[in-house]
Amino acid sequence: MNYTTLSTEARGPHVLLVRLDRPQVLNALNTQMGSDLYGLWTRLTAERGDTRCIVLTGAGERAFCAGADLKERDGMAPAVWQAQHELFERGFVALMELPVPVIAAVNGHAYGGGLELALACDFIYAARGARLALSEVRLGIMPGGGGTQNLPRAVGERRAKELILTAGAFTAEEGAHWGLINRVCDSSSLLNEALATAQAIAENGPLAVRQAKKSIHYGAQMDLLTGYRFEIEAYNRLVDTEDRREGVRAFNEKRKPVFKGS
């Protein structure tokens, strides 16, 4: 996978490491990165190959992603701005609907669209000392990458209103206290911890993981009984699979299962 603004690297047989790779501008999201991300997520949806889990991080030590590239946007005509944003929108949606789990390893500051990118992942590990914010209202705009939807789902409506309307920054530790961040790590161990979790996910039945992710993601948008019926539909698709049979055999034979994704 060759991209102008991203680097990709296989880490083990089933784990893919993706880096936002514009460290000279704090991995700011420009049009090319928007195109690259959209292309990557759609490709992995259609042709995931052996990939069972993804870790998304930023290049360098200072930032995960500083948000949209405002130098590129300076003087941008409204029609061009909106066309660029539509590209970003498609990328955010493709990430949120990606069947493969994605862990955000927030290695430094994450502002605006950078935090929205992390929020669009399945969960977040963050480096100690990282600061995060949805700071768009300071620029006369508002979050447009799912921030007004994903942040309140993570921290509650009232805290999300406070954070978005004040544009205030918060620490990784505060984010963990609020339930936004799953784990705060030392900078030196962040990536290894995220990759270890990705490997643990990748060792489980890939069909089961994808169906469970889908059930959690879409079920959370339904009432309880409708969500449960959605869960059962997802569950029943796993019954007549070789992975399910292999899992039961391996348990009874007291060995590690070898899942094939079929």
Catalytic residues: 116, 136
Count CB atoms within 10 A of the CB of residue 192.
11
Vertex 48 angle, CA 3 and 2, to 5°: 15
Burial (CB count <10 Å: 0-12, 13-18, 19+), residue 147:
buried
Specify whether the CB–CB gap between 8 and 52 falls below 8 A.
no
Question: What is the spatial distance between Cα 203 and Cα 200, in angstroms, rounded to a whole number?
Answer: 5
Task: Locate all alpha helices (DSSP H) within the chain, ordered by sequence.
Answer: 31-46, 70-73, 78-96, 113-119, 147-155, 157-166, 172-178, 190-202, 206-219, 224-239, 242-252
List CB contacts of 236: < 8 A, sequence separation 6 or more.
Answer: none
Question: What is the spatial distance between Cα 106 and Cα 41, in angstroms, rounded to a whole number?
Answer: 19
What is the 3-class SS of 68-103, one letter each residue?
A: ECHHHHCCCCHHHHHHHHHHHHHHHHHHHCCCCCEE
Question: Phi and psi for 220 in degrees, rounded to 5?
Answer: -65, -15
